[in-house]
Amino acid sequence: MIENFTNLFIGFGIALTPYHIALMFAGVAFGLVVGVLPGLGAPNGVSLLLPLTFAMDPVAAIILLTSIYWGALIGGSITSILFNIPGEPSSVATTFDGYPMARQGKATEALTLAFLSAGFAALVGVLLVTTLAKSVTQFALLFSPIEYFAVFMLAFASFVAFGGGSPVKTVVSIGLGLSFATVGMDTISGSVRLTYDVPDLIKGISFLVVVIGFYGIGELLETMQEPLAAKPVATRLDWSAMVRTAREWPRYWVTLIRGTLVGCWMGIAPGGPTAASFMSYGIAKRFTPGNKPFGKGVPEGVIAPETADHSAGTSAMLPMLALGLPSSATAAVLLGGLMIWGLTPGPMLFKERPDFVWGLIASMYLSNVAAVILALASVPLFARVMSVPFTIIGPLIGVVCIISAWTVSGSSFDLLLLFIFGILGFFMKTLNYPIAPMILAMVLGDRSEDAFRQSMLLSQGSLTIFFERPLSATISILTLIFLAMPIVSLLRHRFTKKAID
Amino acid sequence: MTRVHSALFGAMALAGLSFSSQAMAADWAPSKPVEFVVTAGAGGGTDIFTRTIQSIIQKNNLINQPIVVTLKGGGSGAEGFVYGKATPGDGHRLIFGTSNEWLLPLVAKVAWKREDFVPVAAMAFDEFILWTRPDAPWKTAKDYVAAAKAGNVKMGGSQSKDLDETLVKIFERAAGIKLIYIPFKSGGEAAVQLAGGHIDSNTNNPAENVGQWKAGQGIPLCVFSSQRLAAGPKVTDTMGWSDIPLCKDQGIPVDEYKMPRAVYLPGGVSPEMTKFWVDVLQKAFNTPEWKEYIEKTSQSTNFLSGKAFADYAAKDEERTRKVFDEAGWLLK
């Protein structure tokens, strides 16, 4: 561990040159812009700039590209909060309470909370990477498809079990999400499923198109129904709201730490930032005392997903560098970059190119701080957007949605899907079907199906395999407890009611 | 007014451009930015192949238009081919892939046939190696086959009914064994699962497993080739690529199995367009940067274009069709 800190200081020596610092700020600023535009997103932003780095030194190149990633992760929350359109898949959960806060005129507060929490969690994530580099790598190697499946189920259980609403409607919503995730080429059998001979469906249904449709277009349609919505939301533009929020922020330390831990766990496990943010939101909802109205604009509902998202994003760099295992689409692009620069991701990278690894880790401290500073500085600007009347901002959001859906893969078929999902989203909202479980099912459905079928191949069809290995058994039992909790509390509720009668 | 003026000027410049390239004996040259379509996910072998070509062309100014790389890896690369098929006759869109161009239509209901694309060139041929976990009881490919005869040996690979599983089928038949094949999303995933000891073996390309080999988390047993790999520097303290024995010398009669890395154009392009790109790729092939890429990824290299490439594809399709037929994978 001491050795790690010595290495870190060498890393700071490498990262702290004016050239590298300039790259960090440039990367973060570009990332913020990329993150704000839904659909463009971090993976596209990073691959856009990848050719630029061919001629660069690998350390400078990775600093630039990861800075874009950090910027985009933070920027993704901005549109989630202001317009209910998640800029990044991992900021979907931020919309649940961030958007209601903004509608209530608390956009400044929501953005400030989101950025501060994101920065805090990212720093904890990097600290974890610094101190536990070696043991964490060994831990990640323990994960076979059996453990992956257990982790996905845990994320599922912690979100779904603690959600409110009608259980039947939740199941319908999950079923829809799972079937959308099934469309396209199947990894395990190599055949095409549910495409109805439409060539555009072979690639599957993009999760981002669904999200932009349901949240962006669906929300627009819903807002148009209410005459009141045409009125701008009064937003205070003063810096004092920011300062006050920042001062109140440490009060939520329980949510902060819990969310960060969930994120670190999912970053290393590796379940990825999107699953982490959903899981963290679900847990916060269940365990925050005082029956807070989650989903109607409570600060904890912004802090929980933001912390998990960012600690997962940063700590996931470890399995990427040390195992060559990307836990997100952006990490996969970065991995490609590593190989083009002539580096081999994998266990030996730490030994062969310590300058690269520790330079990168040191830069992660700095660029995350830079990202938070730049993002906070932009709060008054973005908060001001909320005071623009809906008649002007509404059509703009529509245009942004269409451009975003187009950018995902440049396919006009996706635009058709966008509107279908927008209309579906509108009806689901009107009929009170929860949308979040469907989104989670889409995120995890594909991967958990693969993991399940791989496990079944490994065990030759025996379901007990999930309880035979210590790690998966522990996670599976935790999943069962989570799932049982709502039932237990329901029974207890009925029982006490009867006792009173 | 100025806009009209500059548009006119631009058209004149364009005309001049095409005129000057005509003078250089090539009848066609790209007149707008060129798109390189990667029919695989980010960071995989095809992505790196594409970006290597892109960087060689840009560094050496082989064409006078910018190049945009787009990732279309959905559905085992089917997304990229469907995308390429949508613009017949367009010489500004190149598709980068492997033998999946002619193999995928055999096993999956995809919306193209082999003839829908014009093969431009195959440039690199990636090798397949039988890798095993370091704590495995077997130390040679012979012992591995002996153990597999008893059953329950797990083999991981990238995708299903794709190159890895096809090789596994050929391997099983040649060695008279039955393996439990587990498909993963990528070779990288199969390498990590092997390092964790969750599977017993995989058939990764050299570049997919070299990181693990260096760290002692994966051991090469034999290579599915007719000759040993190029030596290069030692990978571990004791072994280099050329020290890996041939599978056929280990009692596994699989003569050769390779994955071509190739470039295609949409169908209906003019012969001039094809010629232009064959020339550009030939030039890229002759650069030191290309040599460096081949050495770093331990592939073999050979420039096949025109009839040579078409013959290669036809022969490979014939051989693989047999394997698919026996496995019952062929589309009816």
Are the C-beta atoms of A324 and B191 separated by less than 8 Å? yes
Nearest Cβ partner for A345 among B70, B182, B211: B211
Question: What is the sign, positive or negative, of the torsion defined by CA atoms of A217, A222, A226, A231?
Answer: negative
Nearest CA among A79, A111, A44 for reference residue A380: A111
CA distance A284 to A162: 9
Q: What does pLDDT average to over chain A?
A: 88
Give pLDDT, residue A318: 87
The pair of three-digit structure tokens given for residue A484, joined into one six-digit string = 């049982």
Nearest CA among A119, A117, A130 for reference residue A245: A117
Overall average pLDDT of the A271-293 stretch: 89
Q: Give residue A268's pLDDT band: very low, low, confident or very high (50, 70, 90).
A: confident
pLDDT value at A470 more than 90: yes
Which residue from A minimizes the CA distance to B161? A190
Residues 6+ apart with CB under 8 A from A237: A108, A380, A383, A384
CA distance B187 to B178: 21
Are the C-beta atoms of A212 and A418 separated by less than 8 Å? yes
Query: Hey, is the C-beta of A440 within 8 angstroms of any chain B C-beta?
Result: no
- The DSSP code for B38 is E
Q: Give residue A498's pLDDT band: very low, low, confident or very high (50, 70, 90).
A: low
> Under an 8 A CB cutoff, do A409 and B72 touch?
yes
User: How many C-alpha atoms does A167 have within 13 Å on its Cβ side?
Assistant: 6
Query: Hey, is the C-beta of B75 within 8 angstroms of any chain A C-beta?
Result: yes
Query: Hey, is the C-beta of A487 within 8 angstroms of any chain B C-beta?
Result: no
User: Angle B63-B68-B71 (CA atoms, 0-180°, nearest 5)?
Assistant: 135
Residues 6+ apart with CB under 8 A from A408: A39, A206, A208, A209, A414
Query: Hey, is the C-beta of B215 within 8 angstroms of any chain A C-beta?
Result: yes
Overall average pLDDT of the B139-152 stretch: 95
Q: For strands B201-202 and B129-132, give the pairing.
A: antiparallel
How many other CB atoms are found less than 10 A from the CB of residue B62?
Answer: 17
Give pLDDT, residue A408: 80
Nearest Cβ partner for B110 among A202, A325, A346: A202
Give pLDDT, residue A409: 80
Q: For strands B117-127 and B300-305, give the pairing.
A: antiparallel
DSSP strands (E only) in chain B: 34-38, 67-71, 93-97, 117-127, 129-132, 154-158, 180-184, 201-202, 219-223, 258-266, 300-305
Amino acid at A477: I
Chain A residues touching residue B217 (CB < 8 angstroms): 347
User: 């083009």: which residue's tokens?
Assistant: A340
Query: Hey, is the C-beta of B189 within 8 angstroms of any chain A C-beta?
Result: yes
How many other CB atoms are found less than 10 A from the CB of residue A457?
Answer: 18
User: How many C-alpha atoms does A111 have within 13 Å on its Cβ side?
Assistant: 35
Amino acid at A80: S
Q: For strands B258-266 and B93-97, give the pairing.
A: antiparallel
pLDDT tens sequence across B81-106: 999 999 999 999 999 999 999 999 99
pLDDT value at A235 more than 90: no
Distance from CA of B15 to the nearest CA of A (A): 29
Query: Hey, is the C-beta of A396 within 8 angstroms of any chain B C-beta?
Result: no
Amino acid at A386: M
CA distance B235 to A496: 69
> Under an 8 A CB cutoff, do B189 and A340 touch?
no
> Under an 8 A CB cutoff, do A54 and B55 touch?
yes
Nearest Cβ partner for A348 among B108, B198, B214: B214
Burial annotation A96-108 (CB, 10 A radius, 16+ → b, else e): bbbbbbbbebbbb
Overall average pLDDT of the A410-428 stretch: 93
* Ordered alpha helix ranges (H), A288-316: 300-315
pLDDT tens sequence across A471-495: 999 999 999 998 888 778 778 777 7
Query: Hey, is the C-beta of B271 within 8 angstroms of any chain A C-beta?
Result: no
Chain B residues touching residue A192 (CB < 8 angstroms): 75, 78, 108-110
Give pLDDT, residue A411: 86
Nearest Cβ partner for A347 among B51, B69, B211: B211
A380 prior amide bond cis, ω within 30:
no
pLDDT value at B10 more than 90: no
Are the C-beta atoms of A342 and B211 separated by less than 8 Å? no
> Under an 8 A CB cutoff, do A203 and B74 touch?
yes
Q: Give residue A497's pLDDT band: very low, low, confident or very high (50, 70, 90).
A: low
Give pLDDT, residue B254: 94
Q: Among A449-453, A476-480, B1-5, B259-263, which is the least confidently predicted range?
A: B1-5
Terminal-to-terminal C-alpha distance of chain B: 62
Higher pLDDT, B21 or A30: A30
> Under an 8 A CB cutoff, do B185 and A142 touch?
no
CA distance A304 to A282: 9
Which residue from B minimizes the CA distance to A319? B192
Domains of chain B: 32-126+259-327 (3.40.190.150), 129-256 (3.40.190.10)
> Under an 8 A CB cutoff, do A190 and B165 touch?
yes
Give pLDDT, residue B7: 43
Q: Give residue A162's pLDDT band: very low, low, confident or very high (50, 70, 90).
A: low
Nearest Cβ partner for A324 among B74, B109, B191: B191
DSSP per-residue string spanning B53-109: HHHHHHHTT-SSS-EEEEE--TGGGHHHHHHHHTSTT-TTEEEEE-THHHHHHHHS-
Give pLDDT, residue A290: 83
pLDDT tens sequence across B231-242: 888 999 999 999
CA distance A77 to A489: 34
Chain B residues touching residue A333 (CB < 8 angstroms): 42-43
Residue B330's SS3 state is coil
Q: Give residue B139's pLDDT band: very low, low, confident or very high (50, 70, 90).
A: very high
pLDDT value at B260 more than 90: yes
Strands of the B117-127 sheet, one edge to the other: B67-71, B34-38, B93-97, B258-266, B117-127, B300-305
How many other CB atoms are found less than 10 A from the CB of residue B318?
Answer: 9
CA distance B172 to B271: 43
Distances (CA, A) of B8 to B1, B15, B28: 11, 11, 22
pLDDT value at B15 more than 80: no
A15, A19, A25, A31: CA torsion to nearest 10: -90
Chain A residues touching residue B52 (CB < 8 angstroms): 340
Query: Hey, is the C-beta of A326 within 8 angstroms of any chain B C-beta?
Result: yes
pLDDT value at A248 more than 70: yes
- The DSSP code for A229 is G
CA distance A71 to A68: 5
Q: Give residue B316's pLDDT band: very low, low, confident or very high (50, 70, 90).
A: very high
Overall average pLDDT of the B15-39 stretch: 70
Are the C-beta atoms of A87 and A108 separated by less than 8 Å? no
Chain A residues touching residue B107 (CB < 8 angstroms): 190-191
Overall average pLDDT of the B29-51 stretch: 90
Amino acid at B4: V
Strands of the B201-202 sheet, one edge to the other: B180-184, B154-158, B201-202, B129-132, B219-223
pLDDT value at B295 more than 70: yes
Which pTM value belongs to this model? 0.89
% of chain A residues with pLDDT over 70 = 95
Residues 6+ apart with CB under 8 A from A182: A193, A194, A445, A446, A449
pLDDT value at B11 more than 50: no
Give pLDDT, residue A121: 97
Query: Hey, is the C-beta of B159 within 8 angstroms of any chain A C-beta?
Result: yes
User: 């990732």: which residue's tokens?
Assistant: B71
Nearest Cβ partner for B75 among A50, A185, A339: A185
Q: Give residue B14's pLDDT band: very low, low, confident or very high (50, 70, 90).
A: very low
> Under an 8 A CB cutoff, do B111 and A199 touch?
yes
Amino acid at B211: G
Give pLDDT, residue A23: 95
From chain A residues 335-374, the ones with a CB under 8 A of any chain B CB are 335-337, 339-340, 342, 344-349
Which residue from B minimizes the CA distance to A190? B160
Give pLDDT, residue B44: 79
Q: Which of A46-55, A197-206, A327-336 has the highest mean pLDDT?
A: A197-206
% of chain A residues with pLDDT over 90 = 48
Higher pLDDT, A409 or A440: A440
Give pLDDT, residue A132: 83
CA distance B188 to B288: 27
Distance from CA of A230 to the nearest CA of B (A): 40
Give pLDDT, residue B12: 42
Give pLDDT, residue B4: 41
User: How many C-alpha atoms does A150 have within 13 Å on its Cβ side?
Assistant: 25
Q: Among A223-227, A458-462, B260-264, B282-286, which is the least confidently predicted range?
A: A223-227
From chain B residues 12-51, the ones with a CB under 8 A of any chain A CB are 41-44, 47-48, 51
ipTM confidence score:
0.88
pLDDT tens sequence across B166-196: 999 999 999 999 999 999 988 989 999 999 9
Chain A residues touching residue B196 (CB < 8 angstroms): 141-144
Which residue from B minimizes the CA distance to A446? B185
Give pLDDT, residue A335: 84
> Under an 8 A CB cutoff, do A340 and B52 touch?
yes
Give pLDDT, residue A466: 95
Chain A residues touching residue B329 (CB < 8 angstroms): 190
Q: Among A3-12, A418-427, B313-322, which is the least confidently predicted range?
A: A3-12
Higher pLDDT, A273 or A307: A307
> Under an 8 A CB cutoff, do A340 and B55 touch?
yes
- The DSSP code for B254 is -
The pair of three-digit structure tokens given for residue A72, joined into one six-digit string = 């985009």
Query: Hey, is the C-beta of B162 within 8 angstroms of any chain A C-beta?
Result: yes
Residues 6+ apart with CB under 8 A from B227: B246
From chain A residues 242-301, the ones with a CB under 8 A of any chain B CB are none
User: Angle B27-B285-B314 (CA atoms, 0-180°, nearest 5)?
Assistant: 80
Q: Give residue A42's pLDDT band: very low, low, confident or very high (50, 70, 90).
A: confident
Residue B181's SS3 state is strand
CA distance A169 to A172: 5
User: Which of A356, A454, A456 has the highest number of chain B CBs within 10 A, making it the mutation to test binding with B?
Assistant: A454
> Under an 8 A CB cutoff, do A200 and B82 touch?
yes
Nearest Cβ partner for A342 among B78, B195, B296: B296
The size of the A-B interface in CB pairs under 8 A is: 159
* Ordered alpha helix ranges (H), A235-345: 239-248, 253-268, 273-287, 300-315, 317-323, 329-340
